[in-house]
Structure 1
Amino acid sequence: MQQLVDKFQHSLVGYELLMRRRDGDQWVLPVDFATIPVEDVVNALLEASELLKGKVPIIALNLNRDQLLNIDLLNAIVDCKDKIVPLKLVIEITEEESSQKIDDELILDRVKFFWNNDIQIALDDVSNGENHFDGIVNLIPFASEIKFALQNDHLDFSAPEVQRLISNWQDIANQHHIRFVLEGIETSTDDVTADRLGIAYRQGYYYGKPYLVDS
């Protein structure tokens, strides 16, 4: 899990649940997130939620577009919603390239499914992969959060063109009255730059590295 902070309110907003698999004595990214069994996703969500209840308002779970095709997974996640109260669940739609051509209307239907079940949607790592603007423009009205990741392509936060890109996404979030989150803050210089840009919600090693649920 990795924390999400509101820098200006000096508060801990929530945690993002990062699914990993054990490879020997290391934890690594799954080769294919869509192959993770439904019960493993649900158990990880419930276990993490038990640790966080009463501490933060939000827990976030990543899903890629291939996972959104698995209606059994989606129904199981919805079934978890009441079990994790008072936590609010946020589903982060990742930028990961799909293994197949998926109709945009189908993705929109899946997003509406969560929306109608009172589960928030975050659009993760915008400007990358599947989450370029044209790929998510029809999803933004149903989103509660837009996330931009500095770590993608090792972006130089000091570069004016990078700051303009981030500000453009921040403007989109503000226009829709939703959260804008900047990921990949790693240094005090990054922190100061985010202050100057007026970005409240942040993630990154500067605020806390991910840790195991069972640690």
Structure 2
Amino acid sequence: MYRFFVQPQVDQSQKSVFGYELLLRKETHGRWAVPATFTELPLTKQVQLLENLALQLATKATNQVLALNLNREQAEDKLMLGTIIYLKKRLNPAALTIELTENATLAEIQKYSMLFHQYGIKLSIDDVGTGSNTFDNVEPLLPYVDQIKFAMQNLRMSGKADQIPTALSFWHTIALQYHLDFILEGVEDAHDQAMAKALGIDLHQGYLYGKPQLAVDGPDQPMAALNDGQ
């Protein structure tokens, strides 16, 4: 059994949830875990799950953002573009952002940008500054996307937590330079929140605001963590 778990994305300046990242999970022996590969469930099946999820989250009434991850293999699926456009039409007026989790080529990004933007779908580059998403690789793509995401947890898990402040400041500056939305992932406590505030970073995601969870009863109620210092 597959389901999408959701994790809130918050605008700290407005003290509000503006969207949800959608994270595919598979149930095995009563436990939910990340699938071995995200392509084991076809995009068409994922769309069916997403339509049901959108109703549960009441996005059609609130115009919130749904952010869907897309890896390299999925992006190369010949049915991908049409499937994503179909999904956006079904979700209207909810907004849809496609988060590219692996470094795409310039030609691919240009194609996605041209087609997706016609339908109001935004493009995001996930995990900038780690893996293949180095600045040299990402820089040519920046004019064609709408958002970049910086994941502090990636540096923590690789034993490079001390590099977070410098790297975060760098990538936030790049986002400002290219007029991109910037989402900070891995916000876990008041210290992370304060660091983001000092840099003027308002869009947050992380355990401080909520762990990924099944959406059964609709979106979460306002969270105490939206208040500074809590």
TM-score, normalised via structure 1 length? 0.88
Shift of 1:36: 1.9
AA at the equivalent of 1:67? Q
CA–CA separation in structure 2 for the residues paired with 1:119 and 1:38: 17
Shift of 1:157: 9.3
**Relative contact order (C-alpha < 8 Å, sep 6+): which is higher?**
2
The answer (yes or no) to whether the contact 1:20–1:27 under 8 Å persists in 2 is: yes
Shift of 1:196: 1.3
> 2:24 is paired with a residue of what secondary structure?
coil
> 2:79 is paired with a residue of what secondary structure?
helix
Shift of 1:143: 1.4
Match of 1:94 in 2: 101
Q: How high is the sequence identity, in percent, across the aligned residues?
A: 36
Asked if 1:35 is matched to 2:37, the reply is no
1:5-42 deviation line (CA, Å, top 9, x unaligned):
01111111100110111121111111111232122210
The answer (yes or no) to whether the contact 1:115–1:142 under 8 Å persists in 2 is: no
Structure 1 spans left out of the alignment, 5+ residues: none
Asked if 1:23 is matched to 2:28, the reply is yes
The answer (yes or no) to whether the contact 2:68–2:97 under 8 Å persists in 1 is: yes
AA at the equivalent of 2:193? D
Of 41, 45, 49 in structure 2, the residue corresponding to residue 44 of structure 1 is 49
Aligned residues: 209
Match of 2:81 in 1: 74
The answer (yes or no) to whether the contact 2:19–2:65 under 8 Å persists in 1 is: yes
CA–CA separation in structure 2 for the residues paired with 1:200 and 1:56: 19
1:49-72 deviation line (CA, Å, top 9, x unaligned):
112322352111000111110121
Please tell me the root mean square deviation across aligned C-alpha atoms, in Å. Answer: 2.1
In the TM superposition, structure 1's runs of 4+ consecutive aligned residues that sit over 6 Å from their partners are 155-158
TM-score, normalised via structure 2 length? 0.83
Match of 1:142 in 2: 144
> 1:129 is paired with a residue of what secondary structure?
coil
CA–CA separation in structure 1 for the residues paired with 2:54 and 2:79: 21
